[in-house]
Amino acid sequence: MTERAQLPQARRLVVKIGSALLTNDGRGLDVPALGLWVDQMAALVKQGVELVVVSSGSVAEGMSRLGWKKRPEKLHELQAAAAVGQMGLVQTWEAEFKRHGIHTAQILLTHDDLSDRKRYLNGRSTLRALLDFGVVPIVNENDTVVTDEIRFGDNDTLGALVANVVEADGLIILTDQLGLFDKDPRKNPDARLVTEGLAGDRELDEMAGGSAGALGRGGMQTKVRAARLAARSGAFTVIAGGREEGVLARLRRGDVLGTLLLPEQGRIAARKQWLASHLQTRGKLTLDDGAVKVLRQGGRSLLPVGVKGVAGQFRRGEMVSCVDQKGCEVARGLANYDAVEARAIAGHSSSSIAEVLGYISDEEMIHRDNMVIV
């Protein structure tokens, strides 16, 4: 295989660039390199491609500006570095795109913004409007104020979620590695580059291994995970070396660079994209074997009679995970009843809900339109 058809045909792309690339391994923003990526992205925009950039680097740039050599462990210091670095990061993106007459917009998101239905829809509307106006949104995590995102978040995952939100054709993750190898190339000279695969292939997990560098929060494992999240909305993912000459232009031509991870199925409905992109669930429903079979094979709603156990505290309309009796996740969806009500009606037929609770809101514990099989 000498070329790929996905990228030349793509009309909407999310491009994520990591901290090590943007800050030249921690020496401050690499403006010349950033300018070269912008040159390539501007060319894509002029070809009719809609672009969203997910940019790491705020903490790393802040560390450079503050003269810190080691990533701090204290939360308030991380937040301070993010606040300082975000200034330079956004100014640089704006200045480089301005050379090409392209406007940019800053979008700061958290995973919570994408797990609340109303905020998700508002964010999607804003991003779509910006793309309609020919603006390139520059997206970053809101590290300055959100504590758990600095501790546990990574922009690979955010890039995949943004791809879900804007219904992108593909996600391009530019990194300091050439792509995904079948072994760690730093330890195994015979390691081979994986040029193509299915995002859902579990063998990729063992290949990914390893951890992130000193600056970044995401290693190759998070990139594989991001590819799976992007695949849930039908988007492909390319993991490629950001320092490869003309990397974006060459990918656009269909050249075989990096690792292409493909979705196993086509796009799902917009509402189910949102459900699939949720990272945080508020509770857990344990299902009996019959309910598991119905959900997996029948595409039907979850009824209270199929629920054997309820864990967590959640409100009506919040996301819950559905697991089999071995604890393996089967589905996730929006609960029609809160945790107290769910415990009361679990195992009962729908016709008994009014008798148990004194009222009935819905016959289903989770309606099939508000559920996605995982």
User: In this structure, what CATH number is given to the domain that contains residue 58?
Assistant: 3.40.1160.10
Whether residues 189 and 286 fall in one domain: no
For the sheet with 283-287, list strands across it.
Answer: 307-312, 283-287, 319-323, 329-334, 371-373
Pick from 244, 273, 302: which residue ends a domain? 273
What residues have CB less than 8 Å from 328, skipping those under 6 apart? none
Which structural domain range is residue 188 located in?
6-273
Pick from 273, 295, 324: which residue ends a domain? 273
Which two tokens mark 266? 């086509």
Model pLDDT, residue 299: 78
Type of residue numbered 356: V
Model pLDDT, residue 262: 94
Name the residue with tokens 């997206």.
Answer: 139
Whether residues 242 and 294 fall in one domain: no
For residues 264 and 363, the answer to whether their CB atoms sit within 8 Å is no
Whether residues 260 and 309 fall in one domain: no
Spatial separation of the C-alpha atoms in residues 271 and 274, rounded to whole Å:
5
Model pLDDT, residue 298: 75
Whether residues 322 and 245 fall in one domain: no
Q: At what angle do helices 58-66 and 75-98 cross, to 10 degrees?
A: 100
Domain-located, residue 1: no
Give the total number of structural domains in the chain: 2
Q: β-pairing, 236-241 with 259-262?
A: antiparallel
Model pLDDT, residue 72: 84
Whether residues 52 and 153 fall in one domain: yes
Whether residues 99 and 194 fall in one domain: yes
Whether residues 308 and 216 fall in one domain: no
Sequence-separated contacts (24+) of 313-319 with Cβ below 8 Å: 313/282, 313/283, 313/339, 314/282, 314/283, 314/338, 314/339, 315/282, 315/339, 316/341, 316/361, 317/117, 318/282, 318/283, 319/115, 319/275, 319/278, 319/280, 319/281, 319/282
Domain-located, residue 97: yes
Model pLDDT, residue 214: 44
Whether residues 266 and 297 fall in one domain: no
From the number of C-beta atoms within 10 Å of its C-beta (0-12, 13-18, 19+), residue 202 rates as exposed
Whether residues 78 and 98 fall in one domain: yes
For residues 84 and 68, the answer to whether their CB atoms sit within 8 Å is no
Ordered mean pLDDT values, 10 residues apiece, the chain (374 residues): 76 93 82 95 96 90 87 85 90 96 93 75 89 95 61 75 92 93 84 92 82 53 91 92 94 94 77 72 95 89 97 92 95 94 97 95 91 87
Model pLDDT, residue 324: 96
Whether residues 213 and 84 fall in one domain: yes
For residues 26 and 63, the answer to whether their CB atoms sit within 8 Å is yes
Whether residues 43 and 187 fall in one domain: yes
Whether residues 34 and 181 fall in one domain: yes
